[in-house]
Amino acid sequence: MLLEVERLSKSFGGVQAVQDVSFGVAQGEMVAVIGPNGAGKTTLFNAISGIFPPTGGFVRFQGVVTNGKKPHELAMLGMTRTFQNLQLFSDMTVAENVMVGFHPRLTGGIFSAGFRLPRAAKEEQTAREEALSRLAQVGLAHLAAEKAGTLPYGMQRLVEIARAAVSRPSLILLDEPMAGLNPQESRRLVDVLLVMREQGFTFLFVEHDMETVMAIADRIVVLDYGKKIAEGAPEEIVRHPDVIKAYLGEETV
């Protein structure tokens, strides 16, 4: 498994936000985490991606236990993520925003960059070329020189996806990628993600839009009150009695 989550727990004082959650993500998979509001999805994501350390269990990524590692350390290992709220630099160009994601692949260091040594210049050129390639992949190469803050919300989301992909990560975590998108923007992003999966990218994502989840997920992990209540293929999950009860509040027979 590329990612292994084993009995992961996270508490805040006396509140157990995530409790004994276990699952894995294999190379090339697209795995969704779903659940009602307050189920612990974002807390789980934050514990996996180094925003804060778990209080129990462990995360293993590419064979390395990552408990206590910071997000930038995980990025160096090949794990990157997006957030529900956009994290773009609005006054920088679209291309520059994507180039920021290239940072884990830089080898020249601050000294090389500060004195504009040949290695730094070469890496900057490579970063720009890769940024333009990723922007072409999401259909935004023609807007590379525009300020990111001037783009419509849906396009800004695509810029964020391109930035996450430019470092060639082994795993991309997406926190509600469809949040705030209109139906046309959502369809466009779905198409982009499916193409990226065909190219070998691996995804773990949180999403409320069940139409999107059913369209792109290979496997679904369901949380409720911080616990995993189900895991399986989309067609299994939609018929699972515990999932139906969690979402609809109905007793099943």
Per-residue pLDDT tens digits for 151-179:
999 999 999 999 999 988 999 999 999 99
pLDDT below 70 — which residues of the chain?
104-120, 248-253
Q: Is 62 left (phi over 0), alpha (psi -120 to 50) or beta?
A: left
**Percentage of the chain lying above the pLDDT 70 cut:** 91
Each domain of the chain, given as residue ranges in start order, spans: 1-78+169-253, 93-168
What is the CATH T-level fold of the domain 1-78+169-253, as seen in this structure?
Rossmann fold (3.40.50)
The pLDDT value given to residue 252 = 44
DSSP 40-59: SHHHHHHHHTTSS--SEEEE
The pLDDT value given to residue 63 = 95
The pLDDT value given to residue 114 = 44
Question: C-alpha angle 180/185/191, rounded to 5°?
Answer: 125
**Cβ 5 vs Cβ 24: under 8 Å:** yes
The pLDDT value given to residue 123 = 79
| DSSP code, position 82 | -
Per-residue pLDDT tens digits for 70-101:
998 999 999 999 988 888 999 999 999 999 98
The pLDDT value given to residue 108 = 52
